[in-house]
Chains A and B, each alone.
Chain A
């Protein structure tokens, strides 16, 4: 069965520093992977996706993610964090019947 794991409940980073939010996946076949961000009491906003092609995927708001097949990872990255990036981040994989299966979420806290 398809699944994703986000090993960190929370990531703390200083503004201006690079950030990484980790995600590993388990799928049979080729993975379709996604990152979403959620602000308090709001729905999810799409950041980026990997379907095929380049392993480095660029998305919204300066975020990018690197697909690593050998490590079954799809970590989210940003070169320079902003305080406004503080939010809840979800990694997801497309499962059977086109359902999205979400990880537990990682809370990113960027402090000034």
Chain B
């Protein structure tokens, strides 16, 4: 199946710094990517929908200025957690859908720990 790569897998940062997480579709072009957040022992909560070349659509309650999403190409979307705080510590997962719709493919996730 199609491959979606996330980088980094693990990141530890100090409070107040910004962290960028990349999501790449390796063997297909993804017009739409989704960013999820998962707390321990909980389900995935959709944060935002990222469409190539346009602004991301954020879910209710997600701070746009806090979680910056850029989808500059058909194979790359980035999530930047700005001025990170310990409560931003979580597992972030991206998923991508190819052109023409169809199945979603998920990245391996990125665990963020803010000290």
A98 to B95, CA, bound (A): 12
Which of A15-23, A69-77, A99-107 contacts its partner?
A99-107
Closest to B36 in A: A102
The answer, yes or no, to whether B6 is at the interface (CB within 8 Å) is yes
The answer, yes or no, to whether B1 is at the interface (CB within 8 Å) is yes
Interface residue ranges of A1-56 to B (CB < 8 Å): 36, 41-46, 49
Residues of B within 8 A of A (CB): 1, 4, 6, 32, 34, 42-44, 46, 49, 57, 91, 93, 95, 97, 101, 103-109, 111
Nearest 5 pairs between A and B by C-beta?
A: A43-B106, A44-B106, A43-B108, A43-B109, A104-B43
Q: Is the CB of A42 within 8 A of B43?
A: no
Residues of A within 8 A of B (CB): 36, 41-46, 49, 90, 97-105
Sample 15 A-B pairs with CB under 8 A, ordered by A number. Answer: A43-B106, A43-B108, A43-B109, A44-B44, A45-B106, A46-B1, A46-B104, A46-B105, A49-B103, A97-B57, A98-B32, A98-B101, A100-B95, A104-B43, A105-B42
